[in-house]
Amino acid sequence: MRIMVNGTAREIAADTLAEALVALGQGEETVATALNEEFVPATARARTPIAPGDRIEIVAPRQGG
């Protein structure tokens, strides 16, 4: 299925947001997620289905002012 990950089109096999993170190699990393511009808590990823065309944002801690 084709989805957008951080603004880039990706082809992945996953039914949930949690599976998508594993497929992207980020299942174990310290990241936060949003699906179609809505925040999805880490505890809700396994029960959050994804569909073709969905937009996923994956973010991590970074320097800031």
Partner 1 sequence: MVRFYGTELPSRLMLGTAQYPSPSVLAEAFRRSGAGIATVSVRREAAGGEGGAFWALVRELGVRLLPNTAGCHSAREAVTTARMARELFGTDWIKLEVIGHADTLQPDPWGLVEAARELCDDGFKVFPYTTEDLVLADRLLGAGCEVLMPWGAPIGTGLGLANRYGLRSLRAQFPGVPMVVDAGLGRPSQAAEAMEMGYDAVLLNTAVARADDPAAMAEGFARAVEAGRLGFEAGAMEPRDMAAPSTPLIGKAFLA
Rg of the chain in Å (alpha carbons): 11
| Binding site residues, partner 1, CB under 8 A | 6-7, 24-26, 29-34, 37-39, 41-42, 57-65
Tokens of 14: 């996953």
Q: Compare residues 1 and 31 and give the one whose CB is closer to partner 1.
A: 31
User: Closest approach of Cβ 15 to partner 1, in Å?
Assistant: 20
Query: C-beta of 55: minimal distance to partner 1 in Å?
Result: 12
Rank residues 14 and 31 by Cβ distance to partner 1 and give the closer one. 31
Whether 8 and 56 have beta carbons less than 8 Å apart is answered as: no
CA distance 63 to 10: 27
